[in-house]
Chain A
Amino acid sequence: MTDPANLSLVEVAAAIRERKLSSVEVTRALLARIGRWQPVLNAFVRIEAEEALSAAAAADAALRGGTTLGPLHGVPLAHKDMFYRAGKLSECGSKIRKGWVAPATSAATARLQGAGAVHLGALHMAEFAYGPTGHNEHLGPARNPWNPLRITGGSSSGSGAAVAARLTYAALGSDTGGSIRLPAHFCGVTGLKPTYGRISRADTMPLSFTLDTVGALARSAEDCALIGSIIAGADRLDPTTQGAPEWNMAATRRPVKDITVGVPRAYYVDDLEADVAKALDEAVATFRKFGARVVSVDLPDQTAVTAAAQIVLGAEATSLHSPWLRTRTGDYGAQVRARLQNGLAYSAVEYVEALRWRGPALAAHLAAIGDVDIIVAPASRAAAPTIEETDVGAGPHADATIQAMTRLMRPANYLGLPVLVVPAGHSGMPIGLQLIGRPFCDETAIALGRAFQTATDYHRRMPELP
């Protein structure tokens, strides 16, 4: 059999379930790979080898005894260090929460554990998930497996790097302003940012309760569908999930010929680097080949929606952090402290107005797209920039680079839309595209991504250890 680390989540889960591989073998293979890659990538903040091997041995024993916990029985996974586990450290990429022990387990982690997953460790993240590049003044930057001089994207930096380097089969991440989608794009993995209210955020570190979503980075759309089927659904501890539709696995296999794809005429297609524009064109051609109906769409002005998202994020993040901004401001890294201070610029009236506009803005978006199921758009105007050129210490040029890098992210958060990012090109560094769905139609984005991945191999490409 091939190196177990190279299998997808769906494949390894089946191999363990069918006892072609043991959980211990798989966990050992990943730990060996982590040992080689970690000094290069800085993807993990904690590697819990002994605990993982012990849990893997227990999973194997259970299987021998005829017991299967669920669809992830014995599969080792690692997650961003903001998904709490009761009695365990969860330091959130920060100095302020260094040594902090979580009082409860996050709903998403609990559901994965309930499905049989084995916990491998905690992954690097931007400080308090408030940064789009993968820089972290306390931990050092996470590094991109395709070129360690380049950024991973953030804030789910370790999740992107670890999935790309095949150190975990999938990883939970969070997306408030692009934190799943940017690492998926820059690291060449598949990322699911769900509809707001589809997946519980209970006992996960918050950044902006209006915009926060919890999702997955994985090796394929099919893997994201499996994770979604396990962690989506109502949770009494997260009221935004109440009454949301159940995950529909059959809809993740919806025929592409039944899907209408919209290509934006503006904003998402402005100022793209040639390789990104080419990836977009080729993807559209692939969708047409599968029988999708493809139309051009005129979206409402996305700059206004982006501004509203920034006001909401800024005000909420600053509010959540206000106790520490009063007493421990020096313990934030300079970048994050500056971002949090930006939230002090908004008045209460401006904040509430930005909140109230969210419904009308979504209605305008839906009216503009008509019967379009999926909007296809780049994730960013270019592939991953270098760590050096996106360090804010590099001056105003770095700010401009970061702004250009993130400008295609915020509308989906403000409008609460589901997005699947799929690897769709490679220019020495990976290029991802966003498949942006209608609210609560996450499965349609996955169906399109799944079909796309039967015709392309970008999601299967693996970086080599430098």
Chain B
Amino acid sequence: MPDEVTAERVAAIAASARIPLDAAAAERVARTVNPTVTRFFAEKIALPMEIEPASFVVVAREQAER
């Protein structure tokens, strides 16, 4: 599946969030956001399934006890 963010994808997410977004805005959003998404997925992150957002707190708090 291509990493590229398309206007169609943006329009679909907006519709599912029930937020009105015209076609020109969807085009602009896709253009603006595409480098961010592409860069993030170029990192090819493969996290163990045990990692959750709060795992961050554990790493940060270990420093406090250092």
By a beta-carbon cutoff of 8 Å, the part of chain A in contact with chain B is 195-197, 210, 240, 243-245, 301, 303-304, 306-308, 310-311, 314, 318, 322, 325-326, 329, 338, 341-342, 344-347, 350, 352-360, 362-363, 366, 416, 438-441
Chain B interface secondary structure, helix, strand, loop or mixed? Answer: helix
Q: Which residues in B have their C-beta under 8 angstroms from that of A322?
A: 17-19
Q: Is the CB of B57 within 8 A of A197?
A: yes
Q: Which residues in B have their C-beta under 8 angstroms from that of A366?
A: 59, 63
Q: Which residues in A have their C-beta under 8 angstroms from that of B42?
A: 304
Q: Which of A245, A303, A325, A345 lies at the interface centre, i.e. has the most chain B CB atoms within 10 A of its CB?
A: A345
* Per-position 1/0 for B13-44, Cβ under 8 A of A: 11001111100010011101100110110110
C-alpha spacing A158/B29, complex, angstroms: 29
Q: Is the CB of A314 within 8 A of B33?
A: yes
**Nearest chain B CB to A4's CB is how many angstroms away?**
38
Q: Is the CB of B29 within 8 A of A342?
A: yes
**Nearest chain B CB to A301's CB is how many angstroms away?**
8
| Partner pick for A342 among B19, B33, B63, CB 8 A cutoff | B33
> Residue of A at shortest CB range from B66?
A438
**Nearest chain A CB to B47's CB is how many angstroms away?**
5
Using known A-B contacts A341-B25, A439-B64, A441-B63, determine if residue A359 contacts B40 with beta carbons closer than 8 Å: no
Give the 10 A-B residue pairs with the shortest CB-CB distance, closest first: A359-B55, A440-B64, A345-B33, A359-B56, A307-B40, A439-B60, A355-B53, A307-B39, A439-B63, A358-B56
> Residue of A at shortest CB range from B54?
A359
> Residue of B at shortest CB range from A325?
B19
Q: Which residues in B have their C-beta under 8 angstroms from that of A326?
A: 18-20
> Residue of B at shortest CB range from A344?
B14
Q: How many A-B residue pairs have CB under 8 A?
A: 118
Q: Is the CB of A303 within 8 A of B21?
A: no
C-alpha spacing A318/B10, complex, angstroms: 13
| Partner pick for A311 among B17, B32, B37, B64, CB 8 A cutoff | B37
Q: Which residues in B have their C-beta under 8 angstroms from that of A318?
A: 17, 19
Q: Is the CB of B63 within 8 A of A345?
A: no
**Nearest chain B CB to A364's CB is how many angstroms away?**
10
Using known A-B contacts A311-B40, A329-B20, determine if residue A363 contacts B59 with beta carbons closer than 8 Å: yes
Q: Is the CB of A345 within 8 A of B64?
A: no
Q: Which residues in A have their C-beta under 8 angstroms from that of B60?
A: 195-197, 362, 416, 439-440
Q: Is the CB of A304 within 8 A of B40?
A: yes
Q: Is the CB of B40 within 8 A of A356?
A: no
> Residue of B at shortest CB range from A352?
B53
Q: Is the CB of B20 within 8 A of A308?
A: no
C-alpha spacing A243/B60, complex, angstroms: 12
C-alpha spacing A292/B36, complex, angstroms: 37
C-alpha spacing A356/B58, complex, angstroms: 12
> Residue of A at shortest CB range from B58?
A359
Q: Is the CB of B37 within 8 A of A341?
A: no
Q: What are 20 A-to-B residue pairs whose CB atoms are below 8 Å?
A: A306-B39, A310-B36, A325-B19, A329-B20, A341-B14, A341-B25, A342-B32, A344-B21, A345-B10, A345-B33, A346-B13, A353-B45, A353-B47, A356-B52, A356-B53, A357-B47, A358-B55, A359-B59, A439-B64, A441-B63
Q: Is the CB of A356 within 8 A of B14?
A: no
